[in-house]
Structure 1
C-alpha cells in the first residue's frame, strides 16, 4: 500500500476493525517513511454482480459510481459523509441479499431514492429528477407535490411501475 502523502511503498497496519456487519475491514495505516496516518477499507469484489443499464448495456457494479451520484444529490446539504456511506452500505447489502447477480439500474435507483427520501427530501428530489429523467415538467411537479404532501409519488389511481425483467433473473441464468 503506497502512502497517499509521500507515495512511499512501505506502510504498516496500526489497527484493524470489522465494519458493516463483517462485510468490510477498516485498517489504520502509518507510513514508515513520513509517519503519515491514513485509513483503508477492504471489501469483497463483486465481479459477478452486473448492472443492466436502460440502453441494455451490462457493466460491473461500481460502488464509487453509486457514491458519486449520491454525493451530487446531497451536495451543499446537511448530510454527513458517514450518512452517505451508511446509505451506500444499505443499498449494497440489499443487492447482496438478492438471488440474482443481474440487477437493473432502475432497481438501484429505486433503492437509493427510497433511502434518500428518509435522509433529506431535497436530496431525494435532486436524485429522482435525474434517475427518473423527467421529460415533462408536470411529471416533475407531481413528484414534488407528492413529497410535499407526504405521499409515495405514485398517483392513487395508478399502480407502481412494474419491475423490469432483469429483476426476475436468477443467478444461474446469468452465468455463461
Structure 2
C-alpha cells in the first residue's frame, strides 16, 4: 500500500480491527520511509448487474433513475423518503444477491411494482399504467381489481 504522504510503497500494518458492523476491516499503517501513520479500510465490493434494456442495449444500474421512478409514481402521496430509501435498498440487495451479471430491465420494473404495491396502491397503479403501457380503461380496472383483491386477502 502506497503512503499517501510520500508515496513510498513500503508500509507496515501496525493494528487491524473489524468494524462493529462486521462489514469492514480497519487497518492502521505506518510508512517505513517517512514514518507517518494513516488508516485504510477494507470492504466487500459487490458489483451491481448491468441492465439490459428492451432494445438490447446495456447500461449501468443507476439508483438515481430508480429514485426518480419512485418519486414520479409517489408524487403528492403520503410516503416518507425513508420508505423510498428502504425500498430502493431492498431492490439493490435483490439485484446484488442474485449473482447475475446482467438483468433485464423488465425484472427491475417488476421489483419496483412489488415495492410500490406494498407502499401505496395509488402509486402502484400510476407506475403500472406507464410500465405496462395501459391502452384503455379495462386495463386500469384490471389493475385496480388486482390491488383490491390483494387488500381483501390481507384483511382475512
Query: By the TM > 0.5 criterion, same fold?
Result: yes
Aligned to 1:56: 56
Describe the SS at the equivalent of 1:140.
Answer: helix
Q: Which residue number corresponds to residue 106 of structure 1?
A: 106
- Residue 80 to residue 58, structure 1, CA distance change in 2 (3 Å): same
**Structural RMSD (CA):** 2.7
Match of 2:13 in 1: none
**5+ long unaligned stretches in structure 1:** 1-16, 24-43, 152-176
The separation in 1 between residues aligned to 2:89 and 2:128, in whole angstroms, is 20
Distance in 1, matches of 2:128 and 2:100, equals: 25
Alpha-carbon distance between aligned partners in 2 of 1:67 and 1:73, rounded to the nearest angstrom: 10
| TM-score, normalised relative to structure 2 | 0.64
Structure 2: 5+ residue stretches without partners:
1-18, 25-44, 152-156
Deviation track 1:25-73 (CA, whole Å, cap 9, x = no partner) reads xxxxxxxxxxxxxxxxxxx684x62111112211111000000000101
Bigger radius of gyration among the two: 2
In the alignment, the residues of structure 1 paired with residue 129 and residue 136 of structure 2 have an alpha-carbon distance, to the nearest angstrom, of 11
Instruction: Name 1:86's counterpart in structure 2.
Output: 86
Sort the Cα spacing of 1:81 and 1:69 in 2 relative to 1 into closer, same or farther, 3 A.
same
Q: What residue number does 1:76 align with?
A: 76
Aligned counterparts of 2:93 and 2:20: Cα–Cα separation in 1? 15
Residue 84 of structure 1, CA deviation: 0.4
Under a length normalisation based on structure 1, what TM-score does the superposition of the two structures give? 0.57
